[in-house]
Every structure is written in structure tokens, then in C-alpha cells.
Amino acid sequence: MKKKFNFLLTFMGILCVSAGAYAADLKVGFVYVGPPGDFGWTYQHDQGRKAVERAFGDRVETTFAENVPEGADAERVMTQMALSGHDMIFATSFGYMDPVINVAAKFPNVKFEHATGYRRADNVSTYSARFYEGRTVIGHIAGKMTKTNVVGYIASYPIPEVVRGINSAYLAAKAANPNVQFKIVWVFTWFDPAKEADAANALIDQGADVIMAHTDSPSPLTVAEERGVYAFGQASDMLQFGPNARLGSIIDDWDPYYIERVQAALDGTWESTDTWDGLAPGMAALGGFGDMVPFEVRAEAMALAIGIAGGRIHSFTGPINRQDGTPWLAEGETADDGTLITMNFYVEGIEGEIPQ
Amino acid sequence: MIEIVPRTQKSNLISATIPIMAVILTMLFGGILFWSLGKNPFETIRMIFWDPLMNETFADYARPQILVKAAPLILIAIGLSFGFRANIWNIGAEGQFIMGAILSGSLGLYMYPQESSILFPLMIILGIFGGILWASIPGLLRAYFNTNEILVSLMLVYVAEQIMAAASIGFLRNPDGSGFPGSRNLSQYPSAANLEIIAGTGIHWGVATSIIAVLFFYILLHKHKFGFQVSISGISPKAARLSGINPKFLIIWCLGISGGLAGLAGMFELTGPAGQINIDFNVGYGFTAIIVAFLGRLNPIGIFFAGILMALTYVGGELTQFMLNLPAAAIQVFQGMLLFFLLSMDLLVNYKIKLKRS
């Protein structure tokens, strides 16, 4: 009996040693708010992680923790990551902001990268993408493709990022089609395929024939496919979820940024920065057009995208009034980043209220 | 042939050893699960149960963190256990947890930034009151209209979540938060903060309260008339009625206690580890506490250890994610197995399994 037990202990010992034998130059942890299988937000961050693995091979080891709630749990997960020898941590949700700052203060040698936040420190960088630039382009396509002149918009939470997306999509759709009308449903979730599908169905019942979504799952696109209307891929390309419905897509492409930052950490040149990149460097990218999009709409959309990427076109160029009719941007004036970052109002023409 | 035969007498020995057997069975079947996912089962289970407590890299940080994670589970589970003993099923502790946080948080945010030494005690009272208020809805409805408290309390969780969402983007939103959802951070407001008792550990007043609650409710359950009334009502409602126990009184008190403790846990969580009222404030403590209550055999001392064990699977489970690349869902299955084995083995308390030759 004792002999057997000893054998078991030795066996366990061997397994433990063999598991800890291998070490890379840099250990990078990723903290995800959802599952990598959401085919949206977290999926794209996980694609970025895989791109890092491909780019650096054995030099970099990556790990991740998924479904980490924002708040106290996130702080614990990141602390344990730092304790376990991670050199760099990507925290990929806005709600990780305070936990990142707290943990970063305790581990000055660990480099933190926080997506979509605004608090920085010597070892905390922030990064986000100008998704609204992509929304200008797909907003234009939506305006051109709608027959009923009703575009349905599934919005997650009333935060500046989402409000900005609605405004930029609306302005572009309105410019493409003066009769267009937006119907907006707030679902108060980032990822709930059933709820997102309900919202899409409700919008289609109200006459929407193009669905835009600012949530993470492909279910609005799946519903559009079933109901024979149009929609877009959101966060990832999502072509496989609605081949007949998908007009185009906005893709969050974190790969280049993640590779660049990991490279900087390896080289010892990493420092705290704030990045808000758009279509130009490709952090917000556009997927291919659906077959149903006519040639001239493609050409216009491409021209818009190239103009934005080249800095000749800005998504928010005056004259633009606020929803209540008060002037916001004068003729030819473009919005400054400060206003965009805290945007909490609709532009003129959008019906309804931002939930307060 | 296998036959299930009722026991003439309840087996106390089996009743006491069931939690241990359930843990062992969970480890066994969990190990098979981890093995089938291509992980080393010994290493995985060691990492869940052993590393947070003993690994020199993690233990100093993880040990107090386990208590921090366990504290709300223990507080809520103790409250639930009284009702469960008396066959009163409060499934909505999650909602009561939220309402305790909202009510106490509202006062704290209203008083901001004035400093006052009575603010924190007042918020504690409001936290308890918020939980009681929310639990009294299913309580009064069950007592006077004989509605099903399971459904009513559960549905009120979703109502509470909506109020939480409305508060985070509306009436409790941080006016200096640049339009993002979420209230001010109460843990950074000295008068309202649930401060660390032992510096650097994260151990806060909620942890101390949960330990006091264990002792207090242990005495209440075993030495006080109320505890006896609860126990007798669960075993034989008829006997309870004949001995003059008012069932309405019991329903309202049991739901009140569980609601009050859940609200209190919500208050401590809000002013301490969570810091702010936000859409994702609640992370399921109210539901997990149901597992903890049963794992602890509805006994305060048992619940204390069950809470620690459950917290251990969370903290250790996180380790397995980024140390061994185990998916989060595998840990949830593992936790689910624990409850499954526990409840299914309850059968052995009242029945025995006999092998019979056909």
C-alpha cells in the first residue's frame, strides 16, 4: 500500500516538474470579459493573442483567462497573473480600468495594456480603435441598401463609444439617403445571443430591412439571414453566419498593435502610451463587400474609407446640430477627440432618447 | 439487481460524511473531465485545491483573497439555510444582494463628499433593510396569499438587475465619469469605504461580519427557541402547527433573515471589493450561496467551510485557466458536479442500496 502511494507521489512529482520546465523570454497574459468563442469582441482579441504567438514563436508565451467579471474578480485574476510571472497583461474590457490601475501600482515591473480605458500610469498604456470611422462606411452602405428607409440599430450600453457609433452611422446613412430613419433598441448587454436576436426580430417587425449591431454576437446577422433582410458583421467578419444577409463588416484588428507592443516589451523600448487608431493603421478594418452590394455603392464606400484613412474625410464634419437643434459643429468644422471621447448626445435627426 | 430500500432510521454517519464523499467524487470525475480535455488531472486538481493555499508564489496573496471571496457566500448562505431548513425557498438572494447595495449606496452617494463617522453604520443598516425589503415581497405574498416564493423571489432578481442597470446609467451615475456607466467609487470615499482591517490583505469588515454571523447563527440555531421552531417545521409541518408555531411568522422571519443578510453582503461588497454600483455589479453570489448552503448541510459551521471550499475553487480555478489553459467552462462544470454529487448522495441518508440476486 505504502509502496503504491510512493509511486503515485513520484509520478505526480515528475508530471509537475515536466510542466514547469519550459520558459519563454516574455510571458503575456490576456484577460477577457467574454468567451473567445463569442465570434465578436473577445474572439478578435484572442485572434490578436494567437497572432502574437505566431509572430514570436517560443520567445513569447501567452495565456488567457476568459469570462472574468469586471471589478474585484478582475483585480484578483490580474494579481495572480502578475504573481505567476507574467511580464505583460492585456486587459481587454473597459470595466477593468480601476483594477488595472490598482494592480499596476503593486507590480511596477509588469506592463499593462488596457483596451478602451482612459486611466494611464507609468506601466499602464491604453488603446482603442476609432470604430466610428468604420461605422461611417457601413452607415453609407446601409443608407444606400435600405428599401424601406428604416435601419434598425441594436445598441448595447449608452456609453460614449456606442453613442458615437450611432451618430456616425446615422450621419453617413442620412448623407447617402435623406429619407433614412434609424430605429434604435438598447439591449443592455454586450453578449447575449438570445436577447440580440429578439432585438433584431423586433426591429425587422417594425419595418427595418438593414440591421446594424453594436453587440458582440453574430446572432443579429443570423436573424437577418433567416428573415431575408440585410445586416453587417460586427467586430469579426462573420461572413459564415449570414452569407446572403451580410453587406459588409467592421473588424477589430488588434494583431498589429499586439505584435508591436510585445516587440517593444522584448526590446526594452516599451513605454506608457495612449493609442486611438482608426482605419488608417487598420485597427478598425473593413471586411469584404457582400455580393449584393452594387458596384457604385462599393465605389462610394471605398472612396469614403480611403478618404477617412487618408485624413481627408472626417466622420463628424459640420454643419451638424445636436438632437435638440442646437448647433454643434459649424460648416467645415470637424469634431475634436475630447468631445468624441465623452459623446453623450444624439445628432439632429435621430429619434428617441439615450437612456438615462 | 440493485434495489433501493428505505432506511428505518436516518443515517447520521452518512449525513455527516456526504460532503466529504461528494468532494472526493467531484475530484474523481473532475479529474476524468480534465484528463479528457488533455490536461494532467493531478496537476489540475492540485492547482485548484492546493496552490492557492500552499504554493509559495500565490499563497500569501490568495489565502486572504479566499476569505474575501467566501465572505459574501457565507453571509448569504447562512441566511438561506434557515429558510431551507423550514422548507421556505428563497432563491432570490441575488436580487436582495443587489437591493442592499443600491439602498446603502444611494445614501453614501447622496452624502458624498461629506465626511461623517455615522455614515458607514447607517449604510450597514440600509443595506440590511434593502435586502429585507426585497425579500419581504415574496415573504408577505407567500404568508398571506400563498403564492410560490420560489418563483416570486427568483423573478425579483431580474427586476433588481434592471434597477441596477437603471441606477448605473441614470440616477446613481458618476457625474464626473465622462458619460460612462457606473457610480462613484465608494471604496475611495473614506466615510463610506469598507476599509481593510488588516493592511495589504484585502480582509474587510464583511469578512469579520461573516465570521461573527457564523457564531451568532450557530447559537441561534442550536440554543434558541427560534432555531428549534425552524428545524421542527422542516421535519414535520404538522407537528410544528400542533405545537403552536405560526407558519406565517416563520415564513416572514426566514425570508427576512435571508434577505437582510444578503443585503448586508451586498453593502459590504459594494463599499469594499466592488467599489461602485455598475451594470455588472452582481456576479452570482446569491445563486452560488445556494450551493454553499447545501454543501454546508444548512449548518452555520458547515457553511463556513463550504464557503471557503467554494471560494477555493474560484481562486484556484482562475489559476488553472492561465497556468494550464483550461477553459473557464470546465471549472463551472467542476463546481456544478460538486452540487450534483452532494444532492444525489442525499438519497443515501434515507435509503440504502441493496444488491439482490434475481
DSSP codes joined into one string, A279-312: TTTTSEEE-PPPTTS-HHHHHHHHHHHHHHHTTS
Instruction: Report ipTM for this prediction.
Output: 0.84
C-alpha distance from A171 to closest chain B C-alpha (Å):
21
Position A9 scores a pLDDT of 45
Whether the predicted pLDDT of B73 surpasses 90: yes
Q: Is residue B118 one of the residues assigned to a domain?
A: yes
Rounded to whole angstroms, the Cα distance separating A308 from A132 reads 11
Pick from A12, A157, A356: which is nearest to B279 by CB? A157
Q: Does A303 touch chain B (CB under 8 A)?
A: no
C-alpha distance from A71 to closest chain B C-alpha (Å):
5
Position A22 scores a pLDDT of 56
Rounded to whole angstroms, the Cα distance separating A137 from A289 reads 11
Q: Does B59 touch chain A (CB under 8 A)?
A: no
Rounded to whole angstroms, the Cα distance separating A65 from A49 reads 12
Distances (CA, A) of A264 to A109, A269, A273, A282: 14, 5, 12, 19
Length of chain A: 356
Rounded to whole angstroms, the Cα distance separating A68 from A89 reads 14
Q: Does B199 touch chain A (CB under 8 A)?
A: no
Whether the predicted pLDDT of B240 surpasses 70: yes
Are A251 and A44 contacting, i.e. CB atoms less than 8 angstroms apart? yes
Whether the predicted pLDDT of A7 surpasses 50: no
Q: Compute and round to an integer the Cα radius of gyration of chain B.
A: 22
Rounded to whole angstroms, the Cα distance separating A238 from A215 reads 13
Whether the predicted pLDDT of B329 surpasses 80: yes
* Count of beta carbons in the 10 Å neighbourhood of residue B137: 21
B62 contacts on A by Cβ (under 8 Å): 80
A98 contacts on B by Cβ (under 8 Å): 185, 275-276
Position A50 scores a pLDDT of 96
Q: Read off the pLDDT of each residue in B150-171 and give the average, rounded to a whole number.
A: 93
C-alpha distance from A31 to closest chain B C-alpha (Å):
9
E strand spans, chain A: 26-31, 60-65, 88-91, 111-115, 124-129, 150-155, 181-186, 210-213, 230-235, 246-252, 274-277, 284-286, 320-321, 327-329
Q: Does A101 touch chain B (CB under 8 A)?
A: no
Whether the predicted pLDDT of B336 surpasses 70: yes
Pick from B179, B269, B323: which is nearest to A159 by CB? B179
> Are B57 and A83 a contacting pair at CB < 8 A?
yes
Architecture of the domain made up of A131-252+283-341: 3-Layer(aba) Sandwich (3.40)
Q: Is residue B26 one of the residues assigned to a domain?
A: no
C-alpha distance from B17 to closest chain A C-alpha (Å):
24
Q: Give the position of cell 493573442.
A: A49
Are A216 and A234 contacting, i.e. CB atoms less than 8 angstroms apart? yes
On the 0-12 / 13-18 / 19+ scale of CB atoms within 10 A, A17 is exposed
Which backbone phi and psi does A158 adopt, to 5 degrees?
Answer: -75, 65
Residue of B56, B61, B322 to mutate when probing chain A, most A C-beta within 10 A: B322
B58 contacts on A by Cβ (under 8 Å): 80, 83-84
Q: Does A16 touch chain B (CB under 8 A)?
A: yes
* Fold exhibited by the domain A21-129: Rossmann fold (3.40.50)
Q: Does A10 touch chain B (CB under 8 A)?
A: no
Residue of B nearest to A160 (CA): B179
> Are A71 and B43 a contacting pair at CB < 8 A?
no
Are A159 and A214 contacting, i.e. CB atoms less than 8 angstroms apart? no
CATH of the domain at B79: 1.10.3470
| Average pLDDT over chain A, rounded to an integer | 90
Q: Does B323 touch chain A (CB under 8 A)?
A: yes
Q: Does A342 touch chain B (CB under 8 A)?
A: yes
C-alpha distance from B126 to closest chain A C-alpha (Å):
22
Q: Is residue B203 one of the residues assigned to a domain?
A: yes
Pairing state between β A327-329 and A320-321: antiparallel
Whether the predicted pLDDT of B7 surpasses 70: yes
Residue of A nearest to B65 (CA): A76
Q: Does A13 touch chain B (CB under 8 A)?
A: no
Q: Which of residues 143-162 of B touch A (CB under 8 A)?
A: none
User: Predicted confidence band at A14 (pLDDT cuts at 50, 70, 90)?
Assistant: very low
Q: Which of residues 251-310 of B touch A (CB under 8 A)?
A: 269, 273-276, 278-281, 283
> Are B42 and A15 a contacting pair at CB < 8 A?
yes
Q: Read off the pLDDT of each residue in A76-92 and give the average, rounded to a whole number.
A: 95
**pLDDT, tens digit, for every residue of B95-105?**
999 999 999 99
Position A13 scores a pLDDT of 44
Are A234 and A213 contacting, i.e. CB atoms less than 8 angstroms apart? yes
Rounded to whole angstroms, the Cα distance separating B257 from B237 reads 20
> Are B181 and A72 a contacting pair at CB < 8 A?
no
B179 contacts on A by Cβ (under 8 Å): 159-160, 163, 342-344
C-alpha distance from A163 to closest chain B C-alpha (Å):
10
> Are A72 and B273 a contacting pair at CB < 8 A?
yes
How many domains, in total, are found in chain B? 1
Residues 6+ apart with CB under 8 A from A341: A118, A160, B178
Whether the predicted pLDDT of A19 surpasses 50: no
Mean pLDDT: which of A186-195, A264-273, B327-336 is highest? A264-273
Chain-centre distance for alpha carbon B116: 31
> Are A63 and B65 a contacting pair at CB < 8 A?
no
Q: Read off the pLDDT of each residue in A299-311 and give the average, rounded to a whole number.
A: 93
Q: Does B216 touch chain A (CB under 8 A)?
A: no
> Are B169 and A63 a contacting pair at CB < 8 A?
no
> Are B62 and A341 a contacting pair at CB < 8 A?
no
Contacts across the A-B interface (CB distance below 8 Å)? 106
> Are A65 and B43 a contacting pair at CB < 8 A?
no
Residue of B nearest to A64 (CA): B322
**pLDDT, tens digit, for every residue of B184-218?**
989 889 888 888 888 878 899 999 999 999 999 99
Q: Does B176 touch chain A (CB under 8 A)?
A: no
Pick from A75, A81, A163: which is nearest to B322 by CB? A81
CA dihedral (A123, A164, A67, B324) positive or negative: negative
| Average pLDDT over chain B, rounded to an integer | 90
DSSP A137-176: HHHHHHHHH-SSSEEEEEE---SHHHHHHHHHHHHHHHHH
Write the DSSP symbol of residue B307. H
B46 contacts on A by Cβ (under 8 Å): 12, 16
Query: Helix or strand or coil: residue A63?
Result: strand
Q: Is residue B27 one of the residues assigned to a domain?
A: no
Q: What is the dihedral of CA B55, B56, B60, B66, to 10 degrees?
A: -10
Of B230, B285, B266, B287, which Cα lies nearest the Cα of B91? B287
Are A202 and A187 contacting, i.e. CB atoms less than 8 angstroms apart? no
On the 0-12 / 13-18 / 19+ scale of CB atoms within 10 A, A338 is exposed
> Are A84 and B315 a contacting pair at CB < 8 A?
no
**Where are the domains positioned within chain A?**
21-129, 131-252+283-341
Residue of A nearest to B325 (CA): A63
Q: Read off the pLDDT of each residue in A62-86 and give the average, rounded to a whole number.
A: 92
Mean pLDDT: which of A133-137, B6-10, B230-234 is highest? A133-137
Pick from A11, A15, A80: which is nearest to B319 by CB? A80
> Are A71 and B275 a contacting pair at CB < 8 A?
yes
Q: Give the position of cell 483596451.
A: A115
Whether the predicted pLDDT of A212 surpasses 50: yes
Q: Read off the pLDDT of each residue in A105-134 and give the average, rounded to a whole number.
A: 94
C-alpha distance from B301 to closest chain A C-alpha (Å):
26
Q: Do the first three CATH levels of A21-129 and A131-252+283-341 match, i.e. the same topology?
A: yes
More confident: A8 or A185: A185
Give the range of the structural domain holding residue B264, as residue numbers without chain letter.
Answer: 40-325
